[in-house]
Amino acid sequence: MKLPFNNISEAISGKLNKNVEIISAKKLPGGHEGDSFVLFSRAGEKFFVKRVKARKHHGMRPERNMYWHLISDSMMNRSFASSDGFGVLIKNRNGFTLLDSFRHDLEIYHIQGFEELSEHSFEDLMNQRKDKKEFTNEDRIEAREVAELLGSIHKTPLKNLDKESRDKLYNESLRLIFTAQDMFFLFLHSFDDKHPIFPISMHGKYTAHLIELFQSFKDKGSRLRVLHGDFWGTNIYRKGDGTWYAIDYSRIPFGEPAIDTAFFANQLLWHYHNTGNSYFKKFGEEFLSHYAKISKDKNIKKFMALPIGLLGIISISPILYPDRIGAKSQKFFKVIKKIIKKGEFVWD
């Protein structure tokens, strides 16, 4: 693949406010993810450029390809000992665009459609049902509808991916359980050794169980699906026509479908142990059973064990829930530990 000299020249010229014409390039030793080049201008100036290596699985998540280069550019512009970064040049559907260096006072807004949604999320509905004892046919239908919503997301076609690409994307999703937005280690850091449920002295054994699961799930690209990434009650709404709708897709775009089922089931697991009300267990079991039926995934509970390990920590983290230190929280987390040790999602 040839470097786009004309477009690079235009980007550099705009940054330097003078005409720069790139006429040749020399390849440098590269890294795992990118090829590096020295560029030479007609006036004898030199520039450095890195190009992301073209791999099949990269095309499935182009935003991640930009991520590290944007970080590199910002780091370079903070340093007094380096050359200036000029930005990240991307070719998209409308041609080439130069993403300028980000500053510390950057404001970010992600704009999404909101459809004609009700004002109450699924989590709002669950909070209103803490004292509901009977699991009715209407509840059963509701649980199945949410399962079908998730199933429709997971059925999004993934075309033209060979086994190697599927395995790479799948394995990446397992890593992202730990690394996406640094959530695992961020929340792990929120506990001290005096925490009554999850002191630091327990972290090594807990994490070891998760690493064992992580290694056992490797290269199962046949399970690769398009994901929501944050499929829990606050992101699920009922539209005006009665159907369910999800907002705020995030973190993990492709991978193990149990990541999504775990996010949904974990909130019900918490409500079940916090209230002692079996309604939430019945609702969650109906959701999981129907999802397994429509997806033909008999092993979904097995693969939920790894993401539940993350969600269990979040659910009692002092950052979000400093008051979750009593007997009910302890009972909930005891089940979380049982799940990751057993390697399968359970309710009790």
pLDDT band at 160 (very low <50, low <70, confident <90, very high): confident
Distances (CA, A) of 213 to 81, 175, 177, 291, 340: 43, 11, 12, 22, 8
Q: Which two tokens stand for residue 178?
A: 């730990």
Q: Closest Cα partner for 36 from 22, 18, 50?
A: 50
pLDDT digits (tens, 9 = 90+) for 45-54: 998 888 877 6
For the ranges 9-23, 38-52, 58-72, 328-342, the one whose mean pLDDT is highest: 328-342
Q: Are 46 and 24 in contact (CB under 8 A)?
A: no
What CATH number matches the domain at 117-342, 3.40.50.1470, 3.90.1200.10, 3.40.50.2300, 3.40.50.620? 3.90.1200.10
pLDDT band at 307 (very low <50, low <70, confident <90, very high): very high
pLDDT band at 180 (very low <50, low <70, confident <90, very high): confident
Q: Which two tokens stand for residue 100?
A: 């300028």
Exposure pattern of 336-346 as b/e (b: 16+ CB <10 Å)? bbebbeebbbe
Q: Which position has the higher pLDDT, 176 or 30?
A: 176
Q: If DSSP codes are grouped into helix, strand and coil, which group holds residue 18?
A: coil
Distances (CA, A) of 74 to 79, 83, 125: 9, 12, 43
Q: What is the pTM of this model?
A: 0.83
Q: Are 288 and 300 in contact (CB under 8 A)?
A: yes
Q: Closest Cα partner for 289 from 143, 163, 184?
A: 143
Distance CA 181, CA 175 (A): 12
Question: What are the boundaries of each domain within the chain?
Answer: 5-99, 117-342
Q: Which position has the higher pLDDT, 328 or 83?
A: 328
Mean pLDDT calculated for residue range 136-151:
97
Q: Which two tokens stand for residue 48?
A: 């450095």
Identical fold for domains 5-99 and 117-342, yes or no, is: no
pLDDT band at 59 (very low <50, low <70, confident <90, very high): low
End-to-end C-alpha distance for the chain, whole angstroms: 56
Mean pLDDT calculated for residue range 334-339:
99
Cβ contacts of 309 within 8 Å, gap of 6 or more: 177, 206, 209, 210, 213, 336, 339, 340
Residue given tokens 């190009």 in the structure block: 51
Interhelix angle 203-216/305-315, nearest 10 degrees: 150
- Residue-wise DSSP of 182-238: GHHHHHHTT--TT-SSS-GGGHHHHHHHHHHHHHHTTT-GGG-EE--S--SGGGEEE
CATH class of 5-99: alpha beta
Q: Closest Cα partner for 52 from 64, 44, 38, 39?
A: 64
